[in-house]
C-alpha cells in the first residue's frame, strides 16, 4: 500500500524531470573535469542521449534505476512499486524494451554506447575509470 495519497503521488511523479538530474549532473561534471567536451541531449539521435561525443562516435546515457529498470542485485533504487502493479509492471517493462531498441539503433548507426546507472554514481571513482576506458 502506498503511504501517499493518490493526489500527492501524482504530484510527486509529475515533478520528476527527464534532464539535469543529480546523477546526470555528476557525470557531466566528471567528464568535463577529465577534459572531454560533449553535446547534450541531441534530438537527432534515438533516445536523445545525455552526453554525445560526436567526433568519437560515442555517447553516454545516465539512467535512473527506477525508470529504466536496473536489474543489478542489491540496487535499492530499482525496486518495483507494490501498489498499482497493473500500471507499473507494463510501463517499466516498456521503458526497458524501448531503451534496448534505442541502443540497438544507435549501434547500427555506428555509435558506441555506455550506460551509467544512477546507483553507480555513488562511486564516482569507479565511474571515472569506466568513462576513461570508454572514451580512450
What CATH number is associated with residue 123? Answer: 3.40.960.10
Residue 77 lies in a domain: yes
pLDDT at 78: 81
Residue 123 lies in a domain: yes
Residue 115 lies in a domain: yes
Print the domain residue range for 119: 19-135
pLDDT at 15: 65
- Please state the pTM of the whole predicted model: 0.84
Q: On the CB side of 9, how many CA atoms lie within 13 Å of its CA?
A: 9
Which tens digit of pLDDT belongs to each residue from 19-74? Answer: 668 999 999 999 999 999 999 999 999 999 999 999 999 999 999 998 898 988 88
Which tens digit of pLDDT belongs to each residue from 96-116? Answer: 999 999 999 999 999 999 999
Residue 3 lies in a domain: no
Residue 44 lies in a domain: yes
pLDDT at 102: 97
The residue ranking higher by pLDDT, 85 or 52, is: 52
Residue 2 lies in a domain: no
Please tell me the distance from the alpha carbon of residue 96 to that of residue 70, in angstroms, as a whole number: 9
pLDDT at 124: 96
pLDDT at 42: 94
Cα distances (Å, whole numbers) of residue 81 to 11, 53, 101, 123? 16, 35, 24, 26
**How many independent structural domains does the chain possess?**
1
Residue 54 lies in a domain: yes
Which tens digit of pLDDT belongs to each residue from 1-26? Answer: 567 787 776 777 666 666 668 999 99
Residue 99 lies in a domain: yes
Amino acid at each position: 500500500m502506498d503511504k501517499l495519497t493518490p493526489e500527492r503521488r501524482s504530484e510527486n511523479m509529475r515533478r520528476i524531470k527527464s534532464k539535469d538530474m543529480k546523477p546526470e549532473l555528476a557525470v557531466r561534471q566528471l567528464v568535463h573535469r577529465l577534459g572531454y567536451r560533449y553535446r547534450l541531449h541531441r534530438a537527432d539521435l534515438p533516445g536523445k542521449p545525455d552526453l554525445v561525443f560526436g567526433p568519437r562516435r560515442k555517447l553516454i546515457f545516465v539512467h535512473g534505476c527506477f525508470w529504466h529498470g536496473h536489474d543489478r542485485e542489491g540496487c535499492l533504487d530499482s525496486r518495483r512499486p507494490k501498489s498499482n502493479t497493473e500500471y507499473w509492471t507494463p510501463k517499466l517493462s516498456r521503458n526497458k524494451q524501448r531503451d534496448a531498441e534505442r541502443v540497438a539503433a544507435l549501434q547500427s548507426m555506428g555509435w558506441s554506447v555506455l550506460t551509467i546507472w544512477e546507483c553507480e554514481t555513488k562511486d564516482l571513482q569507479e565511474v571515472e575509470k569506466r568513462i576513461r576506458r570508454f572514451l580512450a
